[in-house]
């Protein structure tokens, strides 16, 4: 996206220097941000003085989708507010389009995720001829198929799994229950694991834990996290991972394939939709792409 200067940007920065004496570094940053915003507008046939609130929100969504960090966007919005307040004070616009636009939260980065190809590689990494590898494969399949928290996964019992109906009964935060569909792949791997690997891992011990450790007990979150990192190395995945990586991939890929935020909220077990809205940029980007590809004037 080209950066395009505009005479009003120069006037604003001159006024800013005269009134507030901002440093050259700050003014240079504002100039760069405003010039890039102007270039973004020009590429869409829009003019800098006429940009309204919806256009600014669209640009903020675009920045989010492009990977701009919150701190950078906060600086951009600060300069943009100053610019439009200057235009308002000069009588060049009738209202400030930034009034109802909130600053992004700094310190809440977007969740790390994996591409669908990365997930396929991770799922294929365990050696399924080994009981531990087969257990790992089944656990990864369930984690990705259901978007579970790691604590929910390692805490699963046999009673929570209904393979005939293809669902899990999950106990989330505050012991809140939710039903989550498993999908055919996860069901097939659980069935194979229960026949070929689980009895060997238990060694004759009675247990209702679905995915026991080598000691026949409930696995800790830390142990499974080490297993994920091991399988990621086997798969050649160099991206930084977190215990929630597959959960975020689950949400991201659902939205990419047409699910709505409310459905994803229910599947993830988020009490408040605002928690799920960290994924809004994914849904918005997909809608924009669909519009561009299918609308006659897209």
State residue 3 phi and psi, 5-degree precision. -90, 130
Distance of alpha carbon 93 from alpha carbon 86, whole angstroms:
9
Q: Which two tokens stand for residue 179?
A: 């039903």
Start-to-end Cα distance in the chain: 19
Please spell the DSSP secondary structure of 111-149, one letter per residue: PP---HHHHHHHHH-S-TTSHHHHHHHHHHHHHHHHT--
Distance of alpha carbon 157 from alpha carbon 207, whole angstroms:
9
Helix axes 221-235, 116-124, angle to 10 degrees: 100
Q: Are 48 and 92 in contact (CB under 8 A)?
A: no
For the chain, the residue count is 298
Among candidate residues 6, 135, 137, 149, the one labeled active-site is: 149
Among candidate residues 27, 198, 227, 244, the one labeled active-site is: 244
Among candidate residues 63, 227, 247, 248, the one labeled active-site is: 247
Q: Specify whether 270 is catalytic.
A: yes
Tokens 């669909």 -> residue: 290
Q: Specify whether 279 is catalytic.
A: yes
Q: Are 284 and 61 in contact (CB under 8 A)?
A: yes
Per-residue b or e along 196-232, where b marks 16 or more CB atoms closer than 10 Å to that residue's CB: ebbeebbeeeeeebbbbbeeeebbeeeebeebbeebb
Among candidate residues 86, 144, 193, 279, the one labeled active-site is: 279
Among candidate residues 173, 233, 239, 262, the one labeled active-site is: 173
Q: CA 138, 140, 144, 147 torsion: positive or negative?
A: positive
Q: Which two tokens stand for residue 289?
A: 């792409």
Q: In a 10 Å sphere around its CB, with 0-12 CB exposed, 13-18 middle and 19+ buried, how is residue 245 labelled?
A: buried
Q: Which residues are catalytic?
A: 149, 173, 244, 247, 270, 279
């Amino acid at each position: 996206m080209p950066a395009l200067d505009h005479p009003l940007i120069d006037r604003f920065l001159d006024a800013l220097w005269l009134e507030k004496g901002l440093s050259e570094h700050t003014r240079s940053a504002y100039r760069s941000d405003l010039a890039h915003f102007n270039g973004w507008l020009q590429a869409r046939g829009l003019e800098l003085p006429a940009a309204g609130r919806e256009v600014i929100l669209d640009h903020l969504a675009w920045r989010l989708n492009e990977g701009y960090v919150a701190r950078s966007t906060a600086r951009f919005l600060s300069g943009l507010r100053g610019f439009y307040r200057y235009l308002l004070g000069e009588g060049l616009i009738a209202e400030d389009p930034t009034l109802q636009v909130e600053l992004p939260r700094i310190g809440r980065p977007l969740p790390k995720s994996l591409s669908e190809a990365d997930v396929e590689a991770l799922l294929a990494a365990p050696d399924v001829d080994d009981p531990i590898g087969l257990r790992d494969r089944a656990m990864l399949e369930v984690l990705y198929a259901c978007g579970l928290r790691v604590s929910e996964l390692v805490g699963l019992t046999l009673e929570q799994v209904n393979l005939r109906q293809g669902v899990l009964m999950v106990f989330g935060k505050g012991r809140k229950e939710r039903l989550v569909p498993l999908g055919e792949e996860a069901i097939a791997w659980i069935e194979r694991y229960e026949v070929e690997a689980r009895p060997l891992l238990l060694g004759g011990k009675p247990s209702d834990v679905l995915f026991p450790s080598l000691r026949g007990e409930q696995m800790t979150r830390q142990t499974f996290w080490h297993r994920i990192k091991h399988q990621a190395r086997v798969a050649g995945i160099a991206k930084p991972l977190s215990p929630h990586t597959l959960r975020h991939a689950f949400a991201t890929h659902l939205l990419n394939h047409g699910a709505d935020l409310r459905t994803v909220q229910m599947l993830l077990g988020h009490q408040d939709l605002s928690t799920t809205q960290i994924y809004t940029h994914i849904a918005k980007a997909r809608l924009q792409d669909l519009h561009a590809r299918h609308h006659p004037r897209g």
